[in-house]
């Protein structure tokens, strides 16, 4: 295999550190760019064989056209989600691979961290104590034991979350288009329809991908079906929630609290430092103003183990592509199943 050159976009120091360590075994030539990939920066990919992109890189039709003209053979996503890629347009132009699983435990554990923090208000207690304020007024929580949690999406992350919540002896309801009866029996959770999740859950956690079906699945109509004071947790994708409707429900106290690791318009802010500036996004600023809303900057994946797995899988995907091997982690708009690739030697086209 020739010396493969990779243009790496939206790179942070932790990306560079983790990829550099794993790349010792692959020997790729990687150029790390701080820039997000978009129509204004795509020219930076000139002279490279592949590009490595993250969740806030915009792989639109125009960008794909330019990558194609520049001779880019492969888009290697270092994430599981791919809603930022125009897969229909990319089909038969550029292959796209991803990292379907890096550490389901990392994201599931972060979801539980959001739940516990919101419930017991430890973030607020921390700042009180630093001000020598030892009162506990306003910090009242509830026992997780015996409460009902609704988990929407039972992939690897959702299942890891179910196991943790069952450890609290919670009643766990699960919605997924492909119910796993063996898992249901093993964990004593219960697969139900989405309406039951909305109506019966004290805590609702979103762990599903963003699709046409799930876009704004949490909205005024579905919120009205929920219990008063319900807790909403989102570690999936920001656009699963209609944020304007969420804010209204927080104001009326229909929703008791919300833990968000993602946000609809996060690409402008998340992963960047704006501590010296004013947030111009009025919706985000309003969310931040609530003392019962906890926002983290898409850090659910952020563990040592996950970073190592992301780097290894991404670089191995690139190696398999240029070695002519089948692409176990390729995605296309037609399907995301290995069976469709049998006629193309393990590739979508």
Task: Report the catalytic residues.
Answer: 237, 266, 298
- Beta strand 171-175 with 29-32 is unpaired
The 8-class DSSP code of residue 241 comes to B
Burial of 242 (0-12, 13-18, 19+ CB in 10 A): buried
Q: Do residues 100 and 316 lie in contact, with contact meaning Cβ atoms separated by under 8 Å?
A: no
Residue recorded with tokens 């599981």: 80
CA distance 311 to 252: 44
What are the tokens at 68? Answer: 């194609």
Helices of type H across 145-296 = 156-167, 181-187, 194-200, 220-224, 243-251, 282-289
SS3 state at 256: strand
The continuous run of DSSP H or E covering 233 comes out as strand 230-234
CA distance 175 to 270: 29
The 8-class DSSP code of residue 177 comes to S
Strand ranges inside 116-177, DSSP E: 148-152, 171-175
Q: Would you tell me how many other CB atoms lie within 10 Å of the CB of residue 41? A: 18
What are the tokens at 198? Answer: 């909305």
What are the tokens at 114? Answer: 């959001």
Distances (CA, A) of 304 to 15, 16, 30, 236: 11, 13, 21, 20
């Amino acid at each position: 295999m020739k010396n493969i050159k990779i243009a790496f976009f939206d790179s942070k120091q932790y990306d560079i550190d983790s990829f550099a360590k794993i790349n010792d075994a692959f020997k790729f030539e990687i150029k790390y760019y701080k820039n997000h990939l978009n129509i204004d920066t795509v020219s930076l990919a000139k002279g490279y064989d592949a590009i490595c992109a993250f969740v806030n890189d915009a792989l639109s039709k125009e960008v794909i056209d330019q990558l194609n003209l520049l001779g880019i053979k492969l888009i290697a996503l270092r994430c599981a989600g791919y809603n930022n890629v125009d897969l229909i347009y990319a089909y038969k132009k550029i292959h796209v691979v991803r990292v379907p699983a890096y550490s389901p435990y990392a994201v599931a554990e972060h979801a539980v961290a959001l739940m516990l923090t919101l419930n017991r208000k430890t973030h607020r207690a921390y700042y009180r104590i630093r001000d020598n304020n030892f009162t506990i007024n306003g910090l009242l929580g509830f026992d997780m034991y015996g409460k009902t949690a609704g988990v929407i999406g039972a992939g690897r992350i959702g299942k890891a979350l179910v196991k943790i919540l069952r450890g609290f002896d919670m009643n766990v309801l699960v919605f997924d288009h492909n119910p796993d009866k063996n898992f249901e029996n093993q964990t004593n959770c219960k697969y139900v329809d989405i309406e039951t999740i909305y109506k019966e859950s004290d805590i609702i956690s979103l762990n599903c991908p963003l699709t046409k079906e799930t876009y704004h699945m949490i909205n005024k109509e579905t919120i009205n079906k929920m219990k008063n004071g319900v807790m909403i947790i989102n570690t999936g994708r920001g656009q699963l929630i209609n944020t304007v409707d969420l804010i209204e429900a927080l104001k009326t106290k229909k929703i008791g609290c919300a833990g968000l690791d993602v946000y609809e318009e996060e690409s402008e802010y998340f992963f960047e430092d704006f501590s010296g500036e004013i947030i111009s996004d009025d919706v985000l600023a309003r969310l931040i103003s609530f003392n019962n809303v906890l926002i983290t900057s898409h850090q659910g994946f952020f563990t040592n183990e996950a970073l190592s797995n992301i780097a290894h899988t991404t670089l191995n995907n690139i190696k398999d592509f240029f070695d002519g091997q089948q692409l176990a982690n390729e995605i296309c708009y037609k399907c995301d199943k290995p069976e469709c690739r049998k006629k193309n030697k393990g590739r979508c086209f």
